[in-house]
């Protein structure tokens, strides 16, 4: 519980530039960009990893993620920084990543942006309360031991994001 004390209900903070007071319970607690996910076509993962290695990235993790995701994932880190590049290669046609590639005219490309939070459950509740449309019915297991959920790109009716957002809690960094 000590990791979420700053989210206690009832406190309020200075709103952003809207000037509105908002409860900390309404704020998901985003810390930084956990990773930017990039779809790559089947058979192209190793070549893409090499191209990022030319830029100075190194592969720190590889995993086949089954379930809803159906992808081969390579995580690339630069220096010892917190921001990762996540290359996603679909394992089969039912992978959502294959659908991203199909929608992109058969090319790979930027798939989603993931933000790190301390507590995925808190973030989930805060975003549901403030009207975001969440794809997952609850935070669920992600790769490398994380807890994650996805936010619908057409979230927020009055101003559709147009961007697939993932929220990530990483127990390793607590």
Binding site for its own copies (CB under 8 A): 15-18, 26-33, 36, 38-40, 44, 47-48, 50-51, 53-59, 78-79, 81-83, 103, 105, 107-113, 115, 127, 130-132, 153, 155-156, 158-163
Cα distances from 167 to residues 14, 51, 105, 117, in angstroms, run: 23, 27, 27, 7
Q: Which is nearer to its own copies, 67 or 105 (CB)?
A: 105
Smallest gap from Cβ 149 to its own copies, in A, equals 14
Q: Which is nearer to its own copies, 20 or 66 (CB)?
A: 20
CB 95 within 8 A of CB 142: no
Pairing of strands 109-117, 84-90: unpaired
Smallest gap from Cβ 23 to its own copies, in A, equals 12
Cα distances from 59 to residues 46, 52, 84, in angstroms, run: 10, 9, 10
Smallest gap from Cβ 141 to its own copies, in A, equals 23
């Amino acid at each position: 519980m000590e990791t979420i004390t700053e989210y206690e209900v009832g406190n309020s903070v200075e709103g952003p530039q809207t000037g509105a007071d908002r409860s900390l319970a309404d704020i998901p607690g985003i810390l930084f960009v956990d990773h930017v996910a990039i779809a790559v076509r089947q058979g192209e993962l190793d070549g893409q990893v090499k191209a990022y290695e030319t830029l100075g990235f190194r592969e720190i993790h590889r995993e086949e993620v089954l379930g809803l995701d159906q992808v081969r994932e390579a995580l690339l880190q630069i220096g010892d920084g917190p921001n990762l590049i996540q290359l996603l290669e679909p394992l089969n046609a039912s992978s959502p990543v294959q659908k991203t590639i199909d929608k992109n005219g058969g090319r790979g490309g930027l798939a989603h942006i993931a933000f790190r939070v301390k507590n995925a459950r808190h973030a989930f509740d805060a975003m549901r309360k403030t009207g975001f449309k969440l794809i997952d019915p609850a935070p669920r297991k992600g790769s490398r031991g994380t807890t994650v959920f996805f936010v619908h790109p057409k979230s927020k009716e009055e101003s559709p994001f147009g961007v697939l957002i993932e929220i990530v809690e990483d127990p390793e960094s607590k």
